[in-house]
Amino acid sequence: MALGKMSGLAVSVGVAAGTLTWSTASVLGLAALIASYGQLLYVIKIAGGLYLFYLAYKSFRSAVSRDDLSEAKMNAGRSSLKGLLARGYLLNMTNPKAAFGWIAIVSLGMDATSPAWVLGAIIFGTTTLSLIVHIAYTLAFSTTKVVAAYAKARRPIQAMLGGLFAFAGFRLLSTKLS
């Protein structure tokens, strides 16, 4: 936020490249495993649902936290555009929660009988969505007025996200496999 639009755009492209890597690996690897071991989808759904509940917990915890955005956090490290792109990619790829997130995404979007176009749609759709959303974040949060507005609205936003994650986790765990 504090490094400006170009820096934010570089990080956004790096994060989207990480999304492309994660989505491709997840879709291809999980598709092969599910084709061989149909019962694996039950395990994947349970892990994905539990991960969504974990995200709900983290969001609710953030909503009640008094720790707001600090200037020190916002100005942590400056780098070249290439370095920021690499930082965005590595941030996405080294996040240990990402694997469970991708398990949740893939298990929501496919089953043992999914045609190949669904796999491609997941890869293309999530990568495109990642790029669009992260660029929108960059454009929105690179202005001081919006940063100040977000700081004031952070708690209700996090509470709403917690509710959405909890609902998605419940739906994932309560739906039957076809």
Tens of pLDDT, residue by residue over 54-92, are 889 999 998 998 776 554 454 455 578 899 999 889 888
The pLDDT assigned to 156 comes to 94
The pLDDT assigned to 34 comes to 63
The pLDDT assigned to 32 comes to 67
Residue 165, pLDDT above cutoff 60: yes
> Between vectors from CA 114 to CA 110 and to CA 120, what angle results, nearest 5°?
75
Helix (H) or strand (E) holding 75: none
Distance between CA atoms of 103 and 129, rounded to whole angstroms?
A: 17
9-57 residue pLDDT tens = 999 999 999 999 988 988 887 656 766 776 777 777 788 788 889 889 9
Residue that wins the pLDDT comparison between 69 and 136:
136
Residue that wins the pLDDT comparison between 178 and 173:
173
Task: Kindly state the greatest CA–CA separation across the chain.
Answer: 53
Distance between CA atoms of 154 and 138, rounded to whole angstroms?
A: 17
Residue 100, pLDDT above cutoff 70: no
Nearest to 1 by CA among 136, 147, 120: 147
Burial of 83-97, coded b for 16+ CB within 10 Å and e otherwise, reads ebbbbbbeebbeeee
Residue that wins the pLDDT comparison between 142 and 94:
142
The pLDDT assigned to 132 comes to 96
pTM over 0.85: no
Distance between CA atoms of 1 and 71, rounded to whole angstroms?
A: 10
